Each structure stands twice: as structure tokens, then as C-alpha cells.
Structure 1
Amino acid sequence: MSGTDKPIGYWLKHLHNLIEKQFDATLGDLGLDRRQWQILNALSSAARSRSEIEQALAPFWPDGVPHFGAILDGPDGLVTRGWVADDGDALNLTEQGRAAHRRAAERVGETRRLLLHGLSPEQYAETVRILSVMADNVETALASRAGVQD
């Protein structure tokens, strides 16, 4: 069976799992996982509230609801390490957090280059466009189905 004989669901799930493993390999020795990286990266451009971070990361959680307790405040949490400051209204990167983000960003860039190796920018853009259209198709169908059931 060739790769093109497998359905898109297989490739989406397989690629997702491989990306998770690659992030673990890329960031593990820095004491970071993918979710922690995503928070550091989201905070690298501006302070954000917990709810803004939760909304931004919701698609990456299996149940769609981010669980930040351990990521931020647990024993290895970003606040606990002193990488993120929480003033009650907003989360901000500290100087230590900015340094950690820079180290991780270099490695994440390498991972992205590895992931996109052999693809032109146009092929990548078209792949993202196609996946976006497919997601929109399913969202529309689900919304219309929900409207029928109400």
C-alpha cells in the first residue's frame, strides 16, 4: 500500500503524533514541552491574559479546554521557574523567560525547516489552504446539522 492509498485522517493523525514526538526531542533537554513552548511563544510578542492564552491554545488540546495549572504553576511550571510573571491580569515573560524563548525558538525553527524540507513555499501555502477549506467544510456541515437538531 502506498502512502497515497491511506486516507487523510491517517496522515493528519500520524503527522500530529510525529510533530509531538519531534517537539519532545527538540525541547526536552531544555525542560520544555510543546504546550509550554506555545505559551512562551505567545507571550514573546506581548503580555496576554490567561483567557487570551487559553483561546489561542484551545485547538491544541484534545478536549478543546486548556489546562494551565501544571504548565504555569506546577513544580516545573513556567511561573514557578520564573520564566513567566503573573500579575493577576496578564502573563508576561521575564528576562529569564525571554532567554528561554530565544533558545527554544532556534530549535523550533530547525524543526520547522525539517518538517518543510522538500516543499516549496507555494506547496506549503497550498497545503494549508486545502486543509483550511476541508476544516471549513466540516465546520459548516456540523453547524448546519446542529441547527437541524435544535
Structure 2
Amino acid sequence: MTGHPAQLKPIGFHLKHLDTLSNHEFHEALSGRDPTRRHWQVLHNLATYGPHDAATLTEKLRPFWGEGAVTLEAATTALEARGWIARDAPSGTFTATAEGNRAHTEVEALARATRGRLMTGLTDDEHLSTVTAPARMCDNPEASPTAH
């Protein structure tokens, strides 16, 4: 990594800052609609990929659910109360309802617009490079025998 200005902050700074800004942007876009970004992530997974149990949702969403985030149980309870998802009691599997699918379509338009604002000025190739570099960086310690 030669030839880069010494004043550049480390990637971790930018990733955390971008996450904070993304949360703020999604909060603003969803304000007045009640679902938080975490509620959206649960609904989006169920509406897009079909039914999941709590363990699968937890695994898929783990990277997004840091300290202070609404819990999966709180998110699913709130989404059930709205009638957007249903839980099959015997299997514990969550499914998006017809009303949830309608809400997903509406909120997805807001999410796409928010992502669009965050991506302003980036080409598709720049976005691909931006996403694949941290992905490879994550792969390195995960592939290491000392990985946790």
C-alpha cells in the first residue's frame, strides 16, 4: 500500500463512520413509518428470501446487530404485532404476510433511494471494488487457523 497519502484514516474508521451515517440515513428515510433499519432487515430477508427460523435470521443478520441495536426478538415481535410477519408456532419459522409484502415493497423504495444517495458519485466498478476489498480483508482472518 504505497503511494497513498499518510493522512488517510484507516479503513475501520471509514467503515464505522459509514455505518453510523447509513443508520442515520435509514432512520430519516423511515421516520414516520415506524420500522427501524433492523426491522427492515428482518422484513426484507423474509420477503425476499422466504421463511426463516430465528437461528437463520440471527446468523444472516449478525453483522448488523451490534451493541444497542434492537434485538431479533423485539424486531419480530413488533413486526408480528403490525401483521407484517407471522410465526408458525410448531416450527418457529417466520414468514412475511401479504401485508408485510406490501409494506416491504413500499419501504424497499425508500431503502433504494437511501442507498442511491449513499452511492452518489460511485461507478459500478468503484462500488464493486469498495465492497470486495473489505470482504477479502474479512476472509483473511476467518481463514486463519487462529481465527476465533
> TM class, shorter-chain normalised?
0.7 to 0.9
Alignment match, 2:98: 95
Following superposition, the deviation at residue 139 of structure 1 comes to 2.8
Distance of 1:134 and 1:4 partners within structure 2: 21
Aligned residues with identical type, % of pairs: 31
Give the alignment's TM-score, normalised by structure 1.
Answer: 0.84
Distance of 1:33 and 1:15 partners within structure 2: 17
SS of aligned partner of 1:29: coil
Q: Which residue identity does 1:71 align to in structure 2? A: A
Higher relative contact order (CA 8 A, sep 6+): 2
Please say if 1:23 is aligned against 2:65: no
Q: Deviations over 1:98-141 (max 9, x none)?
A: 11111100000101111111111111111111111111223345
The alignment's C-alpha RMSD in Å is: 2.2
Distance of 1:4 and 1:35 partners within structure 2: 34
Instruction: Tell me how many residue pairs correspond in the alignment.
Output: 140
Q: Deviations over 1:16-57 (max 9, x none)?
A: 100011110011211110110001110113111121111111
Give the alignment's TM-score, normalised by structure 2.
Answer: 0.85
Q: Structure 2 regions of 5+ residues with no counterpart?
A: none
Counterpart selection for 2:146 from 108, 123, 144: 144
Q: Structure 1 regions of 5+ residues with no counterpart?
A: none
Distance of 1:121 and 1:145 partners within structure 2: 32
Following superposition, the deviation at residue 66 of structure 1 comes to 8.1
- Native 8 Å contact 1:83 1:93 kept in 2: yes
Q: Which residue identity does 2:139 align to in structure 1? A: D
Alignment match, 2:86: 85
Q: Which residue identity does 1:144 align to in structure 2? A: T
